[in-house]
């Protein structure tokens, strides 16, 4: 017997939860914010573009959700501290963090200047560390929380290599490894830390990227499902990992790539 319970609440219900999403103005971060708000969470949208965040907040409010926009460059600790302080002031707690803000400027390894390498690591890796640490300090007090770090199939090992993205691959491999270590240290406090490794996802970032068109063609050919993913398809995975439905998952990386890595 399955013991069907008529009073079972909605799948991935986030009513009463407070979430922060970084890089929330565009692309996957925006889709994640709309998805979490749709599930009932109060959402804090943080991005270097306040204007993009504000337009996403308007969209959430039209759907009767609750959200605020805050300007934040995740590579700057003072701006991260401000997001946490504003979130606590407005909503009183932090239950969910989606670390999503990231950049992927293609350029050859042999001529990549040191400062370009540092910039990608500062945003994609140090930014995730700083934001996770600041939020986890609050989550520890309530002995619960869910952190979802957006990595990439460029993370190495079971992932794929990307010519022209030395700095990016280093940052994404770092996120996956860092998330496992964080999961171990935060498990005793009831905080779960998981990663998502998206494949090729159609976002504004991929349209403005310096990636050569032949690289996109080669990627599409390598994907068994023969198409790029949509931001909403990543947001569904984010929602699952942010909710209590994934209560026994921590230290995991969920690959969402149309079968690319399996191929
Ligand atoms: N699109 C893909 O194919 C793909 C695949 C795997 C992983 N990812 C990862 O997913 C995440 C989102 O990618 P996307 O394609 O949606 O990107 P996008 O460029 O479409 O959107 C990124 C958002 O992050 C913001 N941002 C950039 N730098 C920031 C900073 N320093 N501080 C705060 N916000 C900042 C931008 O303003 C923008 O709103 C990134 O971490 C990316 O590495 C993307």
Give kind and range of the element (H or E) at residue 22.
strand 18-22
Residue 219 is predicted with a pLDDT of 84
Residue 4 has pLDDT above 70, yes or no: no
Residue 176 is predicted with a pLDDT of 95
Ligand 1: centre distance to CA 1 (Å): 45
Residue 1 is predicted with a pLDDT of 44
Let me know the angle formed at the C-alpha of 162 by 255 and 27, rounded to the nearest 5 degrees. Answer: 55
Which residue matches tokens 């390598």?
222
pTM for this predicted structure: 0.96
Ligand 1 atom closest to residue 25's alpha carbon, by position in its atom list: 39
168 is catalytic: yes
Give the mean pLDDT of 108-113.
97
- Fold of the domain spanning 18-256: Rossmann fold (3.40.50)
Mean pLDDT (the chain) is 94
* C-beta of 203 in contact with ligand 1 (< 6 A): yes
pLDDT confidence of 254, banded at 50, 70, 90? very high
In sequence order, what are the beta bridge partners of 196? 150, 254
Q: Of the given ranges (14-28, 80-94, 106-120, 214-228), which has the lowest mean pLDDT?
A: 214-228
């Amino acid at each position: 017997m399955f013991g069907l319970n008529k009073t079972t609440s909605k799948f991935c219900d986030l009513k009463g939860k407070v979430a922060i999403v970084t890089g929330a103005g565009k692309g996957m971060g925006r889709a994640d914010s709309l998805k979490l708000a749709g599930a009932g969470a109060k959402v804090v949208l943080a991005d270097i573009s306040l204007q993009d965040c504000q337009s996403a907040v308007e969209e959430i409010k039209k759907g009767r959700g609750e959200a605020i926009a805050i300007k934040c460059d995740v590579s700057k600790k003072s701006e991260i501290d401000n997001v946490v302080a504003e979130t606590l002031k407005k909503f009183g707690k932090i239950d969910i963090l989606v670390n999503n803000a990231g950049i992927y400027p293609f350029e050859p390894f042999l001529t990549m200047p040191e400062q370009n390498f540092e910039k990608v690591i500062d945003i994609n890796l140090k930014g995730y560390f700083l934001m996770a640490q600041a939020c986890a300090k609050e989550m520890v007090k309530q002995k619960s929380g869910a952190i979802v770090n957006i990595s990439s199939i460029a993370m190495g090992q079971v992932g794929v290599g990307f010519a022209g993205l030395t700095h990016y691959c280093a940052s994404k491999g770092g996120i996956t490894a860092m998330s496992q270590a964080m999961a171990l240290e935060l498990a005793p406090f009831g905080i779960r830390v998981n990663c998502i490794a998206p494949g090729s996802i159609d976002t504004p970032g991929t349209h403005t990227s310096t990636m050569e068109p032949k690289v996109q063609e080669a990627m599409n050919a390598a994907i068994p499902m023969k198409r790029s993913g949509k931001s909403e398809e990543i947001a569904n995975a984010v929602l699952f990992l942010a909710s209590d439905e994934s209560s026994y998952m921590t230290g995991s990386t969920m690959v969402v790539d149309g079968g690319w890595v399996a191929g």
